[in-house]
Structure 1
Amino acid sequence: MTRMDNLPNWIYLLPTIFLSWMSVLSSVSGNGFAAPLHEFSCGKLFYRTLALDAHSGALYVGAMNHLFKLNLENINSSSCNTPKFEPDFRRRCESIGKSRGYQCQNHIRVVQPLLKGQYVYVCGTNAFRPRDWIVHASNLSEVNGATFPGIGDGIAKCPFDPDDNGTAIWVEEGNPGNYPALYSATVADVSRADHLLFRSDLYDSHSTVAHPYLRSVDFDPRWLSSPDFVASFDIGEHVYFFFRENAIEYGNVGRNIYSRVARVCKKDTGGRNVLEQNWSSFVKARLNCSIPGDIPYYFDSLQSLVKSDTARTSAITFYGTFTSSLNAAAAAVVSPASAVCAFTLDDIDRAFSGLFKEQTSVTSAWLPVMKADVPEPRPGKCVEDSKGLPDNVLTFIKNHPIMNSAVAHLHGRPLFVRDQVVLSKLVVVPTIAEGYEYLVIFTADQSGSIYKVIHWYDSIKQQVMSRVIDVWETMKSDGSIRNMVVSPDHRSLYVASDYRILQFSVASCSRYASHCAQCTRDPFCVWNRGKATCQDISEVSESLKWRPDPNFLQDVRDERLHVCEEVIRWQNETVTLGSTVHLSCPIPKVTKEDGLPVDSIVWTHNKVPLSISQHNQRILLTTSNGLIITRTQSTDVGQYVVQMDRQVLCRFHLHVDQDSCQAPRTESDYKKAYHEWCDEFQRYKSMMHKWQKSKKIAGLTAASG
């Protein structure tokens, strides 16, 4: 037989090439996809409005021509057979150049449960002629119009265009006469020129208008300057509106965006001679979300905002996602950045109690108004009868709605910053673990990923701490996440896209099933030592939130060194001399931008850190942080351990078989090896084809979105 001593060198590299590419391909597909508990869809109906009603245990979903009522326990158990809300003015809408299949439909944009869940207020675009309804919560059928006067015309209550932003809240108590009313912030005309903050007519028990509607002053940029409305809340004697708008203070030096909070008094009935049927209590202030420094870096564009009540202190805190505000020229060369910032209600009201701001001429700077120039009673303060206010007070508030001081963000810095990403929606869930309070923030980006962030205050270090503990990929083919709400009672997160609603567990401890280190860092999860798996703490015992149990591991603050090392099992790997081995330890998709240092993931060989660099082509690190060792040698034998932030993730015993592998010596040995490599090569080509196809589909989806 002829010896094969003169085979080309690349033949012996084939196993390395194949295995390396297989590892890369598996890493590209990633393990970040989060499987939902349940899913609801009746087709592409643009599910963009979500309203959670604790009284009825239902999630109301506003969509195109539909209102759905979903079971919070299992949204998949809900029916698509609900009353339809067809548009009334489709032909007229098409005549002004709007699209038949999308714009000239009826998109339900406001959904508000009423009277402890008995009824639901609904407002839709109605083919660019907004209309509203009151429906029975039980079956979503329409209520007789006489029961709720003033219902039928939705102008100023919800948008004309389904792509316009708006916000609204139904207020049942605290209004003049204690009559119920809708407070809204939207666009009041087809041309999008008339933006307003609005309260509907107040009707008495005889269905007579007791107090006519109120609105913001029209076409005055000091009040509203091309705003995008984000959220509204009924708190005490006020209603608060959050939005972003063109900053009129920068009118002389170019266009800039500011995020704002505005406040009106619920007892407001407008002025008598000045501000008749306009708010006499409207004031607004800038929201300061920035990274401090000699030149602060501002995140000026508010995208989403939620309210959270802290049980221990009864303090009200607002959490919002903000993006950097870039003009068109800057955006072409600089990627946007995003942040999550928090604001307390006390700090907001403090800003409203400060100095006013004014511009005395179109060419002068904006400066604070001296206290001596502010009339009494103080403009913007709630009074029992606003029609009795002096004209000079009303004239002052009409011309000075802007406060001089911005609302300072909690802790003086963002809770979470993400570069080259636009964060959109968010929700927050307060929880307790190891006897400490934590806030879990879920925030979505434009690609459909959701970041799970924990936030707490370390009283010993006197530091505000935040850490990303997981990243979920949720909408691989659906495009952007349109809305999110959370039900702490059902421990579920509900995520909406144009195609479907997904229900996730806020804990999702199964994602850490084989990773003790990640499990112990999640305040919703504990590592069960006996079962060697990760479990939802609520499924084990609520007492674990307060009292530790040696049978269950948790280390949310990462204060105990190698807490998981004793429970990580050794994995045995045997490889033949000269071949390639892949030590796989999938790690959740967490990167440097999430607060995790690049060097926090470390591989050691026999307790010595491995040197992995571009110059070392024999030992490679995959994109999922696995280890590939090519052309194995006898010195590669031993223990391999991977750690993340000092916590052990995986441990391996590597054995190198020096007797079983020899280079092909005969023609038959060569043919056998050649066929094996050909089979692997065909497998590689198949995987590469699938990968390229998925990348092409993803690119087309992103382009169409």
Structure 2
Amino acid sequence: MLFGMAFNALCLALCIALGAAEFGPAPRITWHLKEINLMHFHVPGISSYSTLLLSEEKDVLYVGAREAIFAVSSLNVAEKLNEAYWKVTDEKNNECAWKGKSKQTECLNYIRVIQPLNDKTLYVCGTNAFQPTCDYLDLTDFRLLGKSEDGKGRCPFDPAQSYTSVMVDGELYSGTSFNFLGSEPIIFRHSPQSQLRTEYAVPWLNEPSFVYADVIRAPANNLQGDDDKVYFFFTEVSVEYEFFSKVLIPRVARVCKGDQGGLRTLQKKWTSFLKAKLICHSSENNLIFNVVNDVFILKHPDLTEPKIYGVFTSHLNNVGLSAVCAYNVSSVEEVFAKGKYMHSATVEQSNTKWVRYNGEVPKPRPGACINNEARAMNYTSSLNLPDMTLQFVKDHPLMDDSVTPVGNKPKLVLRKVIYTQIVVDRVKALDGNSYEVMFLSTDKGMLHKAVSQDTEMRIIEEIVLFPHLQPVQNLLLSNKEGKKFIYAGSDTGVVQSPLAFCEKFTSCKDCILTRDPYCAWHPVKHSCVNILQESNADESLVQQLNGDASQCPDSDEIQNSMKHTVKSGSTVELKCSQKSKLASLVWQFNKKALKTELPKYHPLEHALVIFSVTERDSGIYECISQEEVGDIKVSQVLLKHEVELEKVPATLESTTHLYTEPEAKSQTTTMSTKVLELSTRKKTTAQILTTPVAVTGVSTRLLESTTALTEMHSKVPEVQMEKAMYLTKPSDCSLLICLVLLFALLFLILLAYNCYKGFLPNWCLPIRTLLFSGKQKTPPDYSDCEQGVKENLVDSKCSPSQFEDTQKIPHDTGYETELDCGNGTVPQAVKPDESGTDQPFDVKCDLKYADSDGD
């Protein structure tokens, strides 16, 4: 078994590393919030809308949030009916904070249990600052009765802990943690008659994460005389497998509703508790999904037995894969009723192992409900079961056999999506067949609607539920005929969504191609309608779930059109968009296929761009959507574009010929060349000042040419044609003028800066003195020093008397060196040699380098 797990993990890692393939179908359509009108409920200052309870008889949805309980209309959740606030006291809040919890977040009261007790009372429980408390909510005036019962075993301590609960005939069944640290998991039944719980032992529950609980009723007048059963679904750390780290295993556990515990063994403990492994494995991709996120049990009159749907992910390497597996309840019952048990055994050179138990099983069968077989053996209650049976189930709660899915494979495997919640509806289509439609929420606030047809799984649409990417914490389905909705709760609010958006499809082909069991085309209304809302629906409704749109009349096809009048040589954009992600766009021009390639055409995702439009491009462009459904290709025209050139007056045509003759083109080209040469010629200031004659000559020639063009233009009538008027528009030279002015400004700034720094000749200094007379310091009087290097003698004389009065501070160069005199500056006065002997130099300069070590 160890090698099998290692092999599966290795295959999974290889699959991820190689990027095996895209898994699962893509959603055909995505509906954004701005496209659909969803009902939202949110109260400022309130968060964590994670508990939902629907009363279909009263059309009321109860919402449990942080320190508040709300009643809203199930037909429009934006309509608030009642509210009740349940806040923690300051004493409990401070006590919780003293234990190391967050005073602002964790030490508040999160409502985690809302269950119906009777028609007038709800049973509610909250975390209550890590002191779980339960109370009763009176629906008459919508207020808490203040009984404040201890909520241990019924509600988690930590709002982040997993939990689940279900009310069965006035008794609360819950799966949660029983202590502050969350280290004691428990499956608990709270009732006035008897309270039962699981054994606190690793073989019973090993770090479980509860996700769902529900009751499955025994069929009336069944031959076995079986009991109602409550199922719990969770993920826990495996005890039967060993790996490098903890291995998570999805489980299903079951207890009997009539269980009363044992008389001596398992007193006040479950005598019918058994658990088994859920298999969700894709053999095609060799992927194992070992974490169950949510479960939904579909109960429908058309079904011979309930069906269990679960959404799974894989925690190995966090691969970002989700799967949906379906199980028959009979498969689960067969494992518990006929499967092999596991028991702990000591294996050589190893710790305790869990292996299959092949010994004798006592009778009545351990973990079984009290049925006709047990009654025939005079066991009418769990209280009188033999100790051998009770001791066996205490030591062997884990089954060796596993529950396999329908078809031995997942119904859906999807990549880059993490499903959080699931609900399933069953709808009867117009073809007489019933389809099971799955609604799957994601950790990014999306809702996927998927349906299985002919062994093909399709995701009909994707709905954006919340404006921000946030996980959906709860999902609820209304089963009331004609009023079916989906309710989703998150940290910021509750959203109500219809089961289908049939009215969004405006053509018959669109309505058929969606292949939604809820939608059909109404030929009389010329609209796509929801078959559940058409009480008087007749046989004229068109619905083909195979995508065959041949029954659609041509008159129902979209006939939208747009007209574009463009100038010759310009560019035009023809817009066209479609909702279906499975379809492709093609273009037709005058009823012929158009090859959209550069440089003439540039196809975009939602448009077609045509460059340099000419007379040959005038005509009708059709945007066509093509979608393949099996062997059928369905095409429909989405939009028509009529493109035509702007008509030019006759006078404009005769004028245009003047400028299209070769001679006129030559003259215009020569003139443009001269203008460009003049504008781009670079001259210095001195050159411009010293060559006025040349500039004047060019200016004279330009003036003459411009005069000639002006005379020619005076003979041309005023028209709106660019080829006739662009030479006479002063705005055409605006860019050139701006560039010239910019360069002139930069030259003046540079000239002023150099003058200020004293870098220019003496003719600039008077101007500088005038401008900065109040700020200018007297420049240092440098004496002329001749420096030369000769082979025998170097004469360099500088009068030291000039520097006796003023000491100059050298410019900081960043080096710690002695002052030099290489630039003729003498740092200090030097006295002549007392001996009077002439020295080669009158000034002493001890040269030191920047990198030399100073004394």
> TM-score interval w.r.t. the shorter chain?
0.7 to 0.9
Cα gap change, 1:280/1:665 in structure 2, threshold over 3 Å: closer, same or farther? Answer: same
Q: Distance in 2 between matches of 1:488 and 1:340?
A: 22
Q: Distance in 2 between matches of 1:664 and 1:393?
A: 101
Q: Distance in 1 between matches of 2:636 and 2:413?
A: 26
Do structure 1's residue 414 and structure 2's residue 396 form an aligned pair? Answer: no
Q: Is the 8 A contact 2:67 2:85 kept in 1?
A: no
CA deviations 1:578-637 (Å, max 9, x no partner) are 52323322315x5xxxxx5xxx53525367776678x88933241xxx342332563685
Cα gap change, 1:221/1:609 in structure 2, threshold over 3 Å: closer, same or farther? Answer: farther
In structure 1, what residue type is equivalent to 2:355? L
Q: Distance in 2 between matches of 1:366 and 1:669?
A: 95
Q: Distance in 2 between matches of 1:305 and 1:477?
A: 25
In structure 1, what residue type is equivalent to 2:505? Y
Do structure 1's residue 299 and structure 2's residue 289 form an aligned pair? Answer: yes
In structure 1, what residue type is equivalent to 2:503? S
Do structure 1's residue 215 and structure 2's residue 197 form an aligned pair? Answer: yes
Do structure 1's residue 444 and structure 2's residue 441 form an aligned pair? Answer: yes
CA deviations 1:346-393 (Å, max 9, x no partner) are 1111121211223412647643322x4222211110123223222322
| Aligned counterpart in structure 2 of residue 339 of structure 1, from 323, 338, 345 | 323
Residue matched to 2:213: 232
CA deviations 1:43-69 (Å, max 9, x no partner) are 232110001123433211111111111
SS for the counterpart of 2:236 is: strand
Which runs of 5 or more structure 1 residues have no equivalent in the other structure?
1-28, 146-150, 173-179, 204-209, 457-462, 591-595, 675-705
Q: Distance in 2 between matches of 1:430 and 1:510?
A: 21
Residue matched to 2:340: 355
Q: Is the 8 A contact 1:227 1:245 kept in 2?
A: yes
| Aligned counterpart in structure 1 of residue 314 of structure 2, from 292, 302, 324 | 324
Q: Distance in 2 between matches of 1:289 and 1:440?
A: 20
Q: Is the 8 A contact 1:517 1:647 kept in 2?
A: no
Cα gap change, 1:570/1:507 in structure 2, threshold over 3 Å: closer, same or farther? Answer: same
Do structure 1's residue 400 and structure 2's residue 396 form an aligned pair? Answer: yes
SS for the counterpart of 1:468 is: strand
In structure 1, what residue type is equivalent to 2:502? C
CA deviations 1:85-106 (Å, max 9, x no partner) are 5457212111112122221111
Cα gap change, 1:433/1:391 in structure 2, threshold over 3 Å: closer, same or farther? Answer: same
Cα gap change, 1:99/1:126 in structure 2, threshold over 3 Å: closer, same or farther? Answer: same
In structure 2, what residue type is equivalent to 1:642? S
Residue matched to 1:459: none
Cα gap change, 1:553/1:359 in structure 2, threshold over 3 Å: closer, same or farther? Answer: same
Q: Note the C-alpha offset of 1:37.
A: 4.1
Q: Distance in 2 between matches of 1:670 and 1:417?
A: 69
Q: Is the 8 A contact 1:411 1:464 kept in 2?
A: no
| Aligned counterpart in structure 1 of residue 477 of structure 2, from 486, 489, 502 | 486
Q: Distance in 1 between matches of 2:584 and 2:298?
A: 35
Q: Distance in 2 between matches of 1:129 and 1:658?
A: 79
The more displaced of 409-418 and 513-522 is 513-522
SS for the counterpart of 1:403 is: strand
The more displaced of 373-382 and 508-517 is 508-517
Residue matched to 2:185: 195
Cα gap change, 1:670/1:639 in structure 2, threshold over 3 Å: closer, same or farther? Answer: farther
Q: Distance in 2 between matches of 1:153 and 1:548?
A: 59
Q: Is the 8 A contact 1:428 1:440 kept in 2?
A: yes
Q: Distance in 2 between matches of 1:553 and 1:637?
A: 31
Cα gap change, 1:571/1:157 in structure 2, threshold over 3 Å: closer, same or farther? Answer: same
Cα gap change, 1:127/1:144 in structure 2, threshold over 3 Å: closer, same or farther? Answer: closer
Q: Distance in 2 between matches of 1:562 and 1:181?
A: 55
Q: Is the 8 A contact 1:264 1:283 kept in 2?
A: yes
| Aligned counterpart in structure 2 of residue 137 of structure 1, from 131, 136, 139 | 139
SS for the counterpart of 2:458 is: strand
In structure 1, what residue type is equivalent to 2:723? R
Cα gap change, 1:366/1:30 in structure 2, threshold over 3 Å: closer, same or farther? Answer: closer
Do structure 1's residue 281 and structure 2's residue 272 form an aligned pair? Answer: yes
SS for the counterpart of 2:460 is: strand
Q: Is the 8 A contact 2:125 2:132 kept in 1?
A: yes
Residue matched to 1:311: 301
SS for the counterpart of 2:63 is: strand
CA deviations 1:122-159 (Å, max 9, x no partner) are 010011000001222233323485xxxxx701011011
In structure 2, what residue type is equivalent to 1:407? V
Which runs of 5 or more structure 2 residues have no equivalent in the other structure?
1-28, 218-227, 371-379, 649-719, 733-855
Cα gap change, 1:71/1:574 in structure 2, threshold over 3 Å: closer, same or farther? Answer: closer
| Aligned counterpart in structure 2 of residue 527 of structure 1, from 511, 517, 521 | 521
Aligned residue runs from structure 1 range 427-506, under 5 A: 427-434=423-430, 435-456=432-453, 463-477=454-468, 479-489=470-480, 490-506=483-499
Residue matched to 2:655: none
In structure 1, what residue type is equivalent to 2:109? N
Q: Is the 8 A contact 2:342 2:357 kept in 1?
A: yes
Residue matched to 1:17: none
In structure 2, what residue type is equivalent to 1:357? M
Residue matched to 1:651: 638
Cα gap change, 1:138/1:511 in structure 2, threshold over 3 Å: closer, same or farther? Answer: farther
State, as a whole percentage, how many aligned pairs show the same letter: 27
Residue matched to 1:10: none
Higher RCO (CA-CA < 8 Å; seq separation 6+): 1
Cα gap change, 1:503/1:382 in structure 2, threshold over 3 Å: closer, same or farther? Answer: same
| Aligned counterpart in structure 1 of residue 247 of structure 2, from 241, 246, 256 | 256
Cα gap change, 1:611/1:198 in structure 2, threshold over 3 Å: closer, same or farther? Answer: farther
Q: Note the C-alpha offset of 1:654.
A: 3.8
Q: Distance in 2 between matches of 1:569 and 1:359?
A: 70
Cα gap change, 1:385/1:448 in structure 2, threshold over 3 Å: closer, same or farther? Answer: same
Q: Note the C-alpha offset of 1:570.
A: 3.0
Q: Distance in 2 between matches of 1:394 and 1:245?
A: 24
The more displaced of 358-367 and 657-666 is 657-666
Q: Distance in 1 between matches of 2:182 and 2:520?
A: 52
Aligned residue runs from structure 1 range 375-390, under 5 A: 375-383=362-370, 384-390=380-386
Residue matched to 1:629: 609
SS for the counterpart of 2:102 is: coil
In structure 1, what residue type is equivalent to 2:542? L
Q: Is the 8 A contact 1:478 1:498 kept in 2?
A: no
SS for the counterpart of 2:331 is: helix
Residue matched to 1:68: 70
Cα gap change, 1:81/1:560 in structure 2, threshold over 3 Å: closer, same or farther? Answer: closer
Q: Note the C-alpha offset of 1:194.
A: 0.5
In structure 2, what residue type is equivalent to 1:648? S
Q: Is the 8 A contact 1:562 1:647 kept in 2?
A: no
| Aligned counterpart in structure 1 of residue 501 of structure 2, from 498, 502, 508 | 508
Q: Is the 8 A contact 2:31 2:463 kept in 1?
A: no
Q: Note the C-alpha offset of 1:638.
A: 4.5
Q: Is the 8 A contact 1:83 1:140 kept in 2?
A: no
Aligned residue runs from structure 1 range 52-67, under 5 A: 52-67=54-69
Cα gap change, 1:138/1:306 in structure 2, threshold over 3 Å: closer, same or farther? Answer: farther
* TM-score, with length taken from structure 2: 0.64
Cα gap change, 1:582/1:403 in structure 2, threshold over 3 Å: closer, same or farther? Answer: farther
Residue matched to 2:127: 125
In structure 1, what residue type is equivalent to 2:601? R
Do structure 1's residue 620 and structure 2's residue 603 form an aligned pair? Answer: yes
Q: Which has the higher strand share?
A: 1
Q: Is the 8 A contact 2:68 2:83 kept in 1?
A: no
Do structure 1's residue 642 and structure 2's residue 636 form an aligned pair? Answer: no
Q: Is the 8 A contact 1:123 1:131 kept in 2?
A: yes
Do structure 1's residue 537 and structure 2's residue 531 form an aligned pair? Answer: yes
Cα gap change, 1:195/1:509 in structure 2, threshold over 3 Å: closer, same or farther? Answer: same
